[in-house]
Every structure is written in structure tokens, then in C-alpha cells.
């Protein structure tokens, strides 16, 4: 059972608390198996140092009061000082080790999240459910220190627990002494002491819960709340990808409105609530603490005045009483904080626990020496996750190795959806896709994906070397990389680069990296598709940044490169696809026309004719202007 962090203001049952705490502890142990052992040792040493100080001061004061010779005390004091020094040194070493472990654990968690992202099926990553989890995780980690807070609170809880245990151990003699007296005031003393400690804890629990609720206003799940708009204005609105439009359209004023005007009242309201609850908590807790100390001082002083306790012992027991009450208060506070951290990380745990929705087939893809493959769409329909309308409806298509097809149509007509289904980035909502007569879902997923080299319009290059981007790995055939870049039209640019194929793309790792133009990046992406050398080559408008003439040249040259392979070209410029004998026309999720350019142009009532003539009119107009 998952407890979602959006329910942060709702009360948890004992079972739910136990579950979120248990999961957080398991995660901490998974990231840092030695952390709990080191924490126990560190806090044990840290607490022991404090109580050694109390013990030494008591011993010295009692010795002086009893008239002991100083020479007899000095060796014992020196011995305890050496023990204290040893504990300080050990505590310092353990603290350093703990900080390294915590820092490393944070990095391991980031790596684990990255691996989870890479291993997840594409439809899961693109689902509204996962996008919601991403949003929640981002806000939860903005609010606090993420799982790092779990490490810190665990250390604090351990320290306070040892503090309480040591205090009780040192208080046992005086408690026995008080009980042995059988004085009615003794029972009054115990009743007041227990009541004060319970009230102290109750005050911490009640007001601490209120503070938690008020702080949770930061992550209210309602999109109309100003706090989310404030967050967007402060963090996302000024991101680098938005910076150009912010400057050009003077969006600063709009963002400032949400940053300083609309958000101010909400922030003031939230801060007043938190400050008020914190103030009331501090007042109640301090009054109760003062009462506990007063009761302890009163009764212990009366005992010491009656000769039942040495002055040094009085100091020891008063100090222990104070430490005990403070430990109870702090344990309750830290326990609440630990539960809160666990609840806020529950969204991350929910993300890590997502199981893939794809059926991972096991059937190996047939390795044909003749490279004969046939793909068939049979009555395929598809809806994107979270959407009601169909992106593709009752689509049928057969493709054999060596065929060329251009796919055209308006934006949103289903062209890219067909490619994503073919590459099994998504599963059909209805119908099925077959490879040589076998449902593609039965094939080993990785083997099936090796059949396709795809260049999407929104392709990605990474801040590594050109060669590593083309070969998608650290090990590569340098000569093949160069050949593919030359075939993709990047040869002249490559000659001008001092680092050649080792040149870094972007400046993510090195200021010497190159920020290539959109057209140059597209050529590198095409070279990557060529290097993969798959039977199917799919180009989904990767040349959108090029002018029509350059795009036609790239497609024509690419057509020569992929002899013997199946190639599908998607372009919004119909003139670039005339070299294909087979053109498929999409409209509103359906294939409405298919044929050669000449055959499609002969149908003057068809969509292809309307689109082509409309585009040709613009091209001719531009040419006339240039000539004029």
C-alpha cells in the first residue's frame, strides 16, 4: 500500500506510518548498508563524551568536598580526559565517514533514478500518471532536503535515544534513593515529573503536527493555488529555454507579478501560520521545561540539604534530568520529521516501484541471410495515454525490404504515430503489427529495436564527442564514423574541426565544445542512423531546419545511401518526396491516399493535390520575389 505525498495533511494510521518508515529505512540501507552501524557508533561516542564531562565534574566536586588529596584525583581526571580525547577523535572519524556515505548515497540515488528512467517503457514515461509523479517529486524535494533528510533525522533520533538511555542509567541511583524514603512528597515529585514530560511531548506532537500541516501548503495539489504559480515564476519561468522569450516579449513584468505581488499574500499567510504555531509550541514547551527543572531542583536540593546527597551528585542528577526531558521532546520532534521525510519520499518510492507495462517477448528475430523482412499493420488504431481521441484509426499497411515510401499529411494527422508504433515505442490500442507474419510483441524487444534506424524531428544529441554520438558508444569504428558523416553531408564541416570526430558537441563538459547549428546537428543525427546499419531507415522530418532545396538534396542523397533497405520518409514539404514512387497521405489519423506523385496529382479532388499545389504556390511566390 502506497501513501502518496499529496496526502501530506491527512492523518496516517499506525500501519501506514510503519510502512512509510520501514520503506525509508530499507532505502537508506540499500543506498548505504554501513550507515546505520556507523551512525550508532558515532552517536554512542558523541553521547558518551557529554556524560563523561558530567561524571568528571561530579567526581572532582565530591572529592574536594570530602577532602581528598588533589594528587589522588589528578590521575583519574587525566585518565578520563584521555578517554574523552579518544572518543572525540573516533567521533570525528565516524562523522567524516558518515558525511561521505550520505553524499555518495545522494549520488547513488540520482543514478538509480536515471537508470529507472532509461529502463522504463516509453508509454510509461509518457503517461499522465508518471508525469504527475515527476511533478510531485520535484516539489517534494524543493520543500525539503529529500532523502538526505532521512539520513539526518535518523542520526538525530539515534543521538536522542542514547541520550535518554544514558540519562536514565545515571538517574537510577537517585530514583532508588527517593523511593526508599517513602515520603509522600516523593510520589508527588514523580507524578509532577511524569506529567511534565508527557505534557512536553504532547505539546511537541500537537504543535509540531500543526507546523507540518501549514508547511504542506507549499505543495497544495490545486493548480489554481498561487503558491504553484509562485514556484513556476521563481524557478521554471526564468529557465534558459524560456529566457529568449522572456527578454524579447518583456515577460519579466508578468513573472514579477506572480513572484512579488500575487505570491506575497499567500507567502505571508503561510509564514504567519507557521510562525504562530512555532511560537505557541516554543512557549508551551519552554514553560513545561522550566516546570520540570524547577521540580527537579526543588526536590533534589531538599534531599541534598538533608544530607542525603553530595553536592556533586546534585549537579549530576539535575543535568541528567534536563537531558532526559530534552531528549523526550527532541525525539518526538525528530520522529515527526522522520515520518514527514518518509511520506514525502513515498512518491519517489512509487516511481521506483513502477513495473513495465510492456510484454517483453522472448522470441529471437530471425537472422535472414537474404535480409527479407516484411512489416504489416493490420487494422491498427491507437490512442495516446490520457487522451480520448484516436491518433490513428483502422490503419493497414505492408512494407517489404527495399521499398521506399514517403509519408505526408497535415500536422497531427498520424504520421509520427505510425513510426512510433512500428518501432514499438507504443503498443496499438487495437489491431496488431506483424513482422514476417509474427506479432511483433512476441519478439525480444531489444532484438526487434535493432531492426530500425530512426531520426525523429525532435531527435537528441548528447554532450559527448561526435564519434560517440554517431556510434552511440565509447568503442567505435573511426573510419565508418567518418564515412557516415560524409554520406550525411557533414564532410566539409568535419574538415574544419581541429578535433575531427573527437570534437565535443555542446559545452556541457568542456568550453572547447562546439554549438552546432540545427542543420549540422541534423546531419550528425542522420549519420548516426546510417552507422546503425539497420534494415529499416525512418526519417521523421529531421530536416525541418533546412530550406526546401537543401532538404530535397539530403533526401535524394540519402535515398542513394540506403540501397537494399526499407526507407520511410516523413516530410511536411511534399516537393521533397517526389523521388519516392510510393507516397502515403494521412488525414485525421487515417491513410486516405496512396500512390506515385503523378497518380496522386491526377486526382484533383484528393488531399495530396490540394496540399501540393498550396505549397507550390508559396515556393513560386518566393522565387518570383527573389528574382524581382
What is the Cα–Cα distance from 48 to 528, expressed in whole angstroms? 63
106 Cβ neighbours under 8 A, 6+ residues apart = 146, 147, 148
The CA angle 152-155-160, to the nearest 5 degrees, is 125
Residue whose C-alpha is closest to residue 365's, from 536, 239, 595 = 536
What is the Cα–Cα distance from 422 to 424, expressed in whole angstroms? 5
Mean pLDDT (whole number) for 230-245: 58
| Residue 480 pLDDT greater than 90, yes or no | yes
Mean pLDDT (whole number) for 246-274: 59
| Residue 82 pLDDT greater than 90, yes or no | no
Mean pLDDT (whole number) for 89-101: 89
3-state SS, residue 591: strand
148 close to 333: Cβ distance less than 8 angstroms: no
Residue whose C-alpha is closest to residue 597's, from 617, 580, 619 = 580
The phi and psi torsions of 147 (rounded to 5 degrees) equal -65, -20
* b/e map 487-501, b = 16+ CB within 10 Å: bbbbeebbeeeeeeb
What is the Cα–Cα distance from 407 to 600, expressed in whole angstroms? 13
Q: What is the pLDDT of residue 226?
A: 44
What pTM did the predictor assign?
Answer: 0.67
Query: Residues 486-530: pLDDT tens digits?
Result: 988 899 999 999 899 999 998 877 788 888 888 888 889 989 988
Q: What is the pLDDT of residue 465?
A: 92
Choose the most confident range, by mean pLDDT, from 79-88, 155-164, 201-210. Answer: 155-164
- Higher pLDDT: 487 or 186? It is 487
Cell triple for 181:
524514603
What is the Cα–Cα distance from 145 to 454, expressed in whole angstroms? 40
578 Cβ neighbours under 8 A, 6+ residues apart = 597
539 close to 570: Cβ distance less than 8 angstroms: yes
The CA angle 241-351-141, to the nearest 5 degrees, is 55
- Higher pLDDT: 250 or 349? It is 349
523 close to 489: Cβ distance less than 8 angstroms: yes
Q: Indicate the average pLDDT of the chain.
A: 77
Largest CA distance in the chain: 121
Choose the most confident range, by mean pLDDT, from 209-223, 365-379, 460-474, 547-561. Answer: 460-474
- Number of H helices and E strands in the chain, helices first, is 22, 10
What is the Cα–Cα distance from 72 to 110, expressed in whole angstroms? 58
Amino acid at each position: 500500500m502506497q501513501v502518496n505525498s499529496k496526502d501530506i495533511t491527512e492523518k496516517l494510521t499506525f500501519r501506514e506510518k510503519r510502512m512509510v518508515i520501514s520503506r525509508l529505512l530499507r532505502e537508506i540501507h540499500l543506498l548505504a548498508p554501513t550507515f546505520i552501524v556507523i551512525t550508532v557508533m558515532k552517536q554512542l561516542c558523541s553521547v558518551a563524551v557529554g556524560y563523561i564531562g558530567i561524571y568528571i565534574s561530579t567526581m572532582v566536586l565530591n572529592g574536594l568536598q570530602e577532602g581528598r588529596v588533589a594528587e589522588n584525583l589528578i590521575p583519574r581526571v587525566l585518565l578520563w580526559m584521555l578517554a574523552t580525547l579518544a572518543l572525540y577523535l573516533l567521533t570525528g572519524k565516524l562523522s567524516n565517514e558518515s558525511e561521505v556515505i550520505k553524499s555518495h548515497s545522494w549520488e547513488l540515488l540520482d543514478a538509480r533514478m536515471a537508470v529507472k528512467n532509461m529502463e522504463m517503457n516509453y508509454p510509461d514515461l509518457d503517461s499522465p500518471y508518471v508525469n504527475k509523479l515527476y511533478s510531485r517529486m520535484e516539489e517534494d524535494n524543493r520543500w525539503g532536503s529529500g532523502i538526505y533528510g532521512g539520513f539526518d533525522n535518523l542520526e538525530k533520533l539515534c543521538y536522542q535515544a542514547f541520550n535518554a538511555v544514558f540519562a536514565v542509567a545515571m538517574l537510577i541511583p537517585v530514583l532508588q534513593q527517593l523511593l526508599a524514603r517513602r515520603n509522600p512528597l516523593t510520589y508527588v515529585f514523580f507524578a509532577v515529573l511524569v506529567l511534565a514530560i508527557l505534557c512536553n511531548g504532547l505539546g511537541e506532537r500537537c504543535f509540531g503536527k500543526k507546523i507540518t500541516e501549514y508547511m504542506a501548503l507549499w505543495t497544495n495539489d490545486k493548480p489554481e493555488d498561487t503558491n504553484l504559480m509562485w514556484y513556476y515564476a521563481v524557478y521554471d519561468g526564468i529557465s534558459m529555454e524560456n529566457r529568449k522569450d522572456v527578454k524579447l516579449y518583456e515577460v519579466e513584468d508578468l513573472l514579477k507579478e506572480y513572484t512579488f505581488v500575487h505570491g506575497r499574500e499567500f507567502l505571508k499567510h503561510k509564514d504567519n501560520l507557521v510562525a504562530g504555531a512555532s511560537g505557541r509550541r516554543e512557549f508551551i514547551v519552554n514553560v513545561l521545561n522550566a516546570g520540570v527543572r524547577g521540580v527537579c531542583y526543588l526536590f533534589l536540593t531538599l534531599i541534598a540539604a538533608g544530607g542525603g546527597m553530595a553536592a556533586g551528585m546534585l549537579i549530576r542528577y539535575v543535568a541528567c534530568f534536563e537531558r532526559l526531558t530534552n531528549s523526550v521532546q527532541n525525539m518526538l520532534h525528530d520522529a515527526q520529521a522522520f515520518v514527514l521525510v518518509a511520506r514525502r519520499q513515498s512518491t519517489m518510492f512509487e516511481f521506483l516501484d513502477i513495473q513495465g507495462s510492456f510484454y517483453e517477448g522472448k522470441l529471437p528475430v530471425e537472422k535472414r541471410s537474404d535480409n527479407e523482412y516484411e512489416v504489416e499493420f493490420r487494422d491498427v488504431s491507437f490512442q495516446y495515454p490520457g487522451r480520448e481521441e484516436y491518433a490513428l484509426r483502422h490503419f493497414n499497411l505492408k512494407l517489404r525490404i527495399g521499398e521506399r515510401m514517403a509519408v505526408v499529411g497535415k500536422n497531427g494527422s498520424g504520421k509520427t504515430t505510425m513510426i512510433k508504433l512500428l518501432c514499438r515505442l507504443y503498443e496499438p490500442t487495437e489491431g496488431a503489427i506483424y513482422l514476417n507474419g509474427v506479432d511483433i510483441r512476441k519478439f525480444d524487444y531489444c532484438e526487434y529495436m535493432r531492426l530500425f534506424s530512426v531520426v525523429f524531428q525532435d531527435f537528441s544529441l548528447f554532450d559527448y564527442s561526435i564519434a560517440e554520438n554517431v556510434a552511440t558508444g565509447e568503442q567505435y569504428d573511426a573510419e565508418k564514423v567518418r564515412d557516415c558523416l560524409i554520406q550525411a553531408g557533414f564532410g566539409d564541416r568535419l574538415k574544419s574541426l581541429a578535433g575531427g570526430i573527437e570534437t565535443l558537441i555542446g559545452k556541457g563538459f568542456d568550453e572547447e565544445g562546439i554549438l552546432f547549428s540545427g542543420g549540422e546537428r541534423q546531419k550528425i543525427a542522420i549519420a548516426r542512423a546510417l552507422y546503425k546499419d539497420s534494415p529499416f531507415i525512418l526519417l521523421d522530418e529531421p530536416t525541418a531546419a533546412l530550406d526546401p532545396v537543401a532538404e530535397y538534396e539530403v533526401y535524394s542523397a540519402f535515398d542513394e545511401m540506403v540501397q537494399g533497405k526499407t526507407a520511410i520518409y516523413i516530410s511536411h514539404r511534399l516537393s521533397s518526396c517526389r523521388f519516392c514512387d510510393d507516397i502515403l497521405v494521412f488525414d485525421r489519423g487515417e491513410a486516405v491516399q496512396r500512390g506515385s506523385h503523378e497518380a496522386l496529382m491526377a486526382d484533383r479532388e484528393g488531399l495530396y493535390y490540394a496540399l501540393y499545389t498550396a505549397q507550390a504556390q508559396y515556393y513560386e511566390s518566393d522565387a518570383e520575389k527573389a528574382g524581382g
